[in-house]
Every structure is written in C-alpha cells, then in structure tokens.
Amino acid sequence: MILRDIAHCRSGDKGDTANISVIAYEDKDYELLVKEVTPERVAEHLRDSVKGTVIRYEIPRLGALNLVLTHALSGGVVGSLALDAHGKSLGSALLSLPIGSHTNN
C-alpha cells in the first residue's frame, strides 16, 4: 500500500518553506496516517528536496496532518532556479510513500 491509496495531498509555499497537507479519504485511516506519516519518514522520502526540518501538525477533526518543510524550495519562489519553485508538486511526491511495509524502506 502507498499513501495515495488512503489519502490526498495539496502543497504550497511561503518563502523557502513548503507545506503539504495529508488528508485521509476516510476518517478510520487517520490513525494510520499518524502512525506512518512521521516527520522522519517524510524527511527521508523527500530528501532530495527538503534541506531543512519537517514539522508535523495533527488535526484529528479533519482527519488530516499538516507537514511544514523548511528550506524546501531552493531559496523560495522569486530567486529559485528550480523548475517548480513553489513546491506545488511536492504533495505528489509524498503520495508514493509506502504505508504499512516500511521495514524495507
């Protein structure tokens, strides 16, 4: 199973900081998100993009997590040389995170 099977994401930017929301399609999967989508695993999965830290906020009533990734946008929109300077596509990268089988990840 991968994250895309149980959740959807949207990402956006503020300066050089990106955020990715991770939202369970069904409320029953929220606990699985909390268990599996840890800051450590997100940082590892997105290590080519995120040069800073990953902070995670839990929003149980929405069945959602909000991940805040610092130094993730090569300096931010205006001066960045990156193709996706807004980090808009970062959420799509996270959706391939393996769920429930990360012993070999």
Query: Which residues make up the interface to another protein (CB under 8 A)?
Result: 4, 8, 10, 12-15, 17, 19, 21, 23, 25, 45-49, 55, 57, 59, 61-64, 66, 68, 75-79, 81-84, 89-90, 93, 96
Interior angle at CA 17, CA 47 and CA 72, nearest 5:
20
CB of 98 to another protein, least distance (A): 12
Closest by CA to 73, choosing from 65, 64, 82, is: 82
CB of 35 to another protein, least distance (A): 20
CB of 25 to another protein, least distance (A): 7
Strand order in the sheet with 54-59: 7-14, 17-24, 64-69, 54-59
